[in-house]
A and B are shown apart, each in its own frame.
Chain A
Amino acid sequence: MKKLSILSVLLVALSTLSTTAFAEPKALPAGTMVNAVCVGSTATVTVSGVAVESMEYYYYFKPLDRVGAGNVYSFNLDEGRRFNFTFAGGYYAGLSAEMSKRYGYPASFLGQNIDIDNSNPLGAAFVITCPSVR
Chain B
Amino acid sequence: MKSFFALIVTIALVLCAGAAVASEYTVQKGDTLSGIAKRFMGSASRAAYMSLAEKNGIENPHLIHPGQKLDIPEGFSFSESYRLQGQIGVISSAPAKPQSSRQSAEKKQEGVFYYRYPARDPYRGTLEKALELLGYPIEVRKAFVEKVRTTPKNKIVHIELRKGDRIAAMTFGKAKVKRNVIAAWDDQYHLYAARLYETEFEGKVYRLIYPLVCGNWSRLEERPIPAPPEVPYIEPPVPQPVPTAPEAPPYIEEEKPCPIEHEPIVGIGTWGNGIAEGDFAYAEYMQWRKKCLFDCSSEYSWGLGAYGSWEQGESELSSYEWDGHTVGPQAGLKYSGLYFDKEDKKYRLQQWTSKVRLVWEKTEGDNDTSGYHMTQDNLKLGAYVEGVKEFDDKWMGIITAEGWIGLDESIKSTWSGDTPSDRGNVQLGVYGQYKINEDWSTRFGGGPFWQQWDDMYGMHLRAEARWKNTVMFGPYANLFPFGKSSAYKGIPTSDLQTWGAFARVEFGEIIRQQDRKIRMQRVKAEDDERFGVIDADESKQL
Name the residue of chain A whose CB is nearest to the CB of B538. Answer: A133
Q: Residues of B contacting A40 with CB < 8 Å? A: 536, 539
* Interface 1/0 per residue, A1-24 and B, CB below 8 Å: 011001101100110111110111
Q: How far is the CB of A61 from chain B (nearest CB, A)?
A: 6
B244 touches A95 (CB 8 A): yes
Name the residue of chain B whose CB is nearest to the CB of A40. Answer: B539
Beyond A94-B244, A118-B240, A122-B291, is A81–B531 a contact (Cβ under 8 Å)?
Answer: yes
Q: Which of B252, B297, B340, B517 has the largest number of chain A CB atoms within 10 A? A: B252
B250 touches A22 (CB 8 A): no
* Interface 1/0 per residue, B277-312 and A, CB below 8 Å: 000000000000001000011010000000000000
Beyond A90-B342, A107-B238, A123-B248, is A96–B243 a contact (Cβ under 8 Å)?
Answer: yes
* Interface 1/0 per residue, B336-374 and A, CB below 8 Å: 011110100111001010100000000000000000000
Q: How far is the CB of A68 from chain B (nearest CB, A)?
A: 10
How many Å lie between the Cα of A84 and that of B242 in the bound state?
14
Q: Does A97 contact B (CB under 8 A)?
A: yes
Q: Does B227 contact A (CB under 8 A)?
A: no
B528 touches A13 (CB 8 A): no
Beyond A22-B247, A81-B527, A120-B250, is A16–B387 a contact (Cβ under 8 Å)?
Answer: yes
Q: Does B405 contact A (CB under 8 A)?
A: yes
Of B249, B346, B403, B535, which contacts A6 at CB under 8 A? B403
Chain A interface size range: 35 or more
A130 touches B531 (CB 8 A): yes
How many Å lie between the Cα of A107 and that of B241 in the bound state?
10
A92 touches B244 (CB 8 A): yes
Q: Does B426 contact A (CB under 8 A)?
A: yes
How many Å lie between the Cα of A132 and that of B240 in the bound state?
25
How many Å lie between the Cα of A82 and that of B526 in the bound state?
13
Q: Residues of A contacting B256 with CB < 8 Å? A: 121
Name the residue of chain B whose CB is nearest to the CB of A117. Answer: B250
CB contact list, B209-262 vs A, under 8 A: 238-257
Beyond A3-B424, A17-B352, A122-B291, is A131–B531 a contact (Cβ under 8 Å)?
Answer: yes
Q: How far is the CB of B430 from chain A (nearest CB, A)?
A: 12
* Interface 1/0 per residue, B507-528 and A, CB below 8 Å: 0000000000100110110011
Q: Residues of B contacting A123 with CB < 8 Å? A: 242-246, 248-250, 253
Q: Does A111 contact B (CB under 8 A)?
A: no
CB contact list, A73-95 vs B, under 8 A: 81-82, 84, 86, 89-95
Q: Does B383 contact A (CB under 8 A)?
A: yes
Q: How far is the CB of B13 from chain A (nearest CB, A)?
A: 49
How many Å lie between the Cα of A81 and that of B531 in the bound state?
10
15 other A-B residue contacts (CB within 8 Å) besides A91-B246, A117-B250: A6-B425, A16-B399, A19-B350, A19-B352, A22-B340, A23-B340, A23-B347, A24-B246, A60-B524, A90-B342, A94-B244, A96-B244, A118-B240, A121-B297, A123-B249
Interface residues in chain A, defined as those with a beta carbon under 8 Å from any beta carbon in chain B: 2-3, 6-7, 9-10, 13-14, 16-20, 22-25, 40, 53-54, 56, 58, 60-61, 63-64, 66, 81-82, 84, 86, 89-99, 107, 116-118, 120-125, 129-134
